[in-house]
Each structure stands twice: as structure tokens, then as C-alpha cells.
Amino acid sequence: MSSDLDLEQQLLAYYVSLKTPIPEGGAEWNLSPEHHYLFGFSTRDFLYRNCELLPDMRVCNIGIGMGDWDDYLGYWLHKWGTLTSVDIDENLCGLFAYRQKREQHSNPSSVVAEDILHTSLPAASFDLVTIIGSTTHETGQPEAAMNISLKLAKSGGHVLYMGTTETAPESWFKDYLKHLTCRVTHHENFTYYSGPQGVPSHWWKMVAIPNFNYHSEVEGYAYLLEKP
Ligand SMILES: C[S@@+](CC[C@H](N)C(=O)[O-])C[C@H]1O[C@@H](n2cnc3c(N)ncnc32)[C@H](O)[C@@H]1O
């Protein structure tokens, strides 16, 4: 159990890491248009346009990471319902809960630190379950992670999945869907950076600014599934 002083120091390190120039994860990726497009805009916009807010809505997000998505879900749900955020990393969970408290989030998550593959959360208890980015594959068993997401959703509830081609091609999800009886209510591809404006990534890398990592050719794919 960390003391508040430890958590303050960890929180400072967290804020600093957002702006630290480590490749594939620090400022360079966080500030890139590709990151903002996929995570900052498209996925939130997909939720906003396609998911209906319900009174006393119960939402679960699997995989907290930086926690930006959970922050957004909490605000989206504010005055409507509650968010449960699950992550296997206990330290990350503690820091996320503390950050939300320090930042005075108006609808903070109930944080559950556990492996989603062995979750203690009751089946059929959420109106919406979300699992985005690399989380499915970070579990080491992406199909099992999806099965559990569906198990946690109520009958008639939904699962929002968003993946990027940096983690896995969309074909893995299409193959996974073949074994399901769920209805896909919405599906969108986020293709703006699938090759920036028709200019191949190697051109950007070789001719434009050789040392800058453009994370080019990153596509996203989002699905909203309805559980029967
Ligand atoms: C890249 S982050 C999640 C992305 C995040 N939703 C976002 O968009 O910023 C992946 C998270 O999944 C968590 N994770 C990996 N395996 C897990 C498991 N088996 N159960 C729960 N969480 C897991 C990791 O600890 C990590 O925080």
C-alpha cells in the first residue's frame, strides 16, 4: 500500500512521462496527430455517436493504461451512471485512482486491480463493456479477453472494441466474429493515417524528416457488438 507522499511522487513521474521523449510511448507518440486521431478523437467520437446513454448505466473498461479513455468515459457518463475500470497492474490502478481523486474527476471510476482473464466481476452486469487499443493482445489471449468482455455485458448490452493495426490486423477480429452470434450494430475504420494523404510512409521517413517517427500507416477499427 503506497502512502500519499509516494503517490504524489509517482503522480509527478506520470505527468513527466507524458512529455518524455522516449520512442513509442512518450511525448513523441502522445503528441502525434496519429495518436490524437485514433485515441483522442475517433474512438471517443465513435462512442459518442453510436452508444446510447441510459439511466443508471453501468459501464466497464478493461485496460486502463494512461487512463485517458477511462477519464473520458467517466465524464461521458456523468449524471447517468458509473464506470468500473479494470487493469492487471496494481500499481497503475492505485495511481490512476489517486490521480482521479487529485484532479477532482466528477465521476471517478471504481478501480478493480485484477487479471481480466480471471475476473471476479459478475457476469451479465454491465450495459457497456469497452476494450480498446492493445489490451486484448496484452492479455496474451485476445479471444478469451473478448469472450470475457461479452460475458460481462448484460443481455441486450454492448461491447465496444477498438483495435489498431500496430497491434493486430483487422482480420483477427473478423475471424473472431465468425464464431459469434452477436449482432454488429456499428463498425467503422479509422483510415486517415493508413498512408498519410496517399504519401507512403517510407517517403516521409526518407525524404521529409528522417529522424522523426511518424507512426505512419496506423489504422484503427472499431466495432460495437450487441449481446443477444
Ligand atoms: C495500452 S494499455 C490500454 C489502452 C488504454 N485503454 C488506452 O487507450 O490508453 C493496456 C493495458 O492493459 C492492461 N492489461 C494487460 N493485460 C491485462 C489483463 N490480463 N487483465 C487486465 N488488464 C491487462 C495493461 O496493464 C495496460 O495498462
Find out whether the beta carbon of 117 lies less than 6 Å from any atom of ligand 1: yes
Q: How far apart are CA 72 and CA 130, in angstroms?
A: 12
Is pLDDT of 210 > 80?
no
pLDDT at 195: 59
Mean pLDDT of the region 17-22:
84
Find out whether the beta carbon of 90 lies less than 6 Å from any atom of ligand 1: no
Q: Pocket of ligand 1, candidates 87, 90, 218: which has the most ligand atoms within 8 Å of its Cβ, to mutate? A: 87
Q: How far is the CA of 49 from the centre of ligand 1 (A)?
A: 24
CA angle 166, 160, 176 (to 5 degrees): 65
pLDDT at 20: 86
Asked if 189 and 170 count as a contact pair (C-beta separation under 8 A), the reply is: yes
Dihedral sign for Cα 63, 66, 69, 75, please. Answer: positive
* CB within 8 Å of 81: residues ≥ 6 apart: 53, 54, 55, 56, 57, 58, 59, 127
Name the residue range of residue 75's domain.
4-226
pLDDT at 200: 47
Residue 132 in 3-state DSSP?
strand
Instruction: Fill in the DSSP letter of residue 32.
Output: S
Sheet holding 81-87, edge to edge: 110-113, 81-87, 57-62, 126-132, 153-164, 220-226, 183-190
Asked if 190 and 40 count as a contact pair (C-beta separation under 8 A), the reply is: no
Beta bridge partners of 189: 221
Q: How far is the CA of 114 from the centre of ligand 1 (A)?
A: 11
pLDDT tens readout for residues 99-117:
999 999 999 999 999 999 9
For the CA of 66, the closest atom of ligand 1 is 9
Q: How far is the CA of 53 from the centre of ligand 1 (A)?
A: 24
Q: How far is the CA of 62 from the centre of ligand 1 (A)?
A: 7
Q: How far is the CA of 63 from the centre of ligand 1 (A)?
A: 3
Asked if 67 and 73 count as a contact pair (C-beta separation under 8 A), the reply is: no
Worst-scoring range by mean pLDDT, 49-58, 170-179, 212-221? 212-221
Find out whether the beta carbon of 38 lies less than 6 Å from any atom of ligand 1: no
Percent of the chain at pLDDT > 70 equals 88
pLDDT tens readout for residues 36-59:
999 999 999 999 999 999 999 999
How far from chain centre, in Å, is Cα 156?
Answer: 22
What's the pTM value of the predicted model, to 2 decimals? 0.91
φ and ψ of 65, to 5 deg:
55, -130
**How many structural domains are present in the chain?**
1
For the CA of 70, the closest atom of ligand 1 is 6
CATH of the domain at 62: 3.40.50.150
Find out whether the beta carbon of 86 lies less than 6 Å from any atom of ligand 1: yes
pLDDT at 76: 98
Find out whether the beta carbon of 18 lies less than 6 Å from any atom of ligand 1: no
Q: How far apart are CA 95 and CA 66, in angstroms?
A: 10
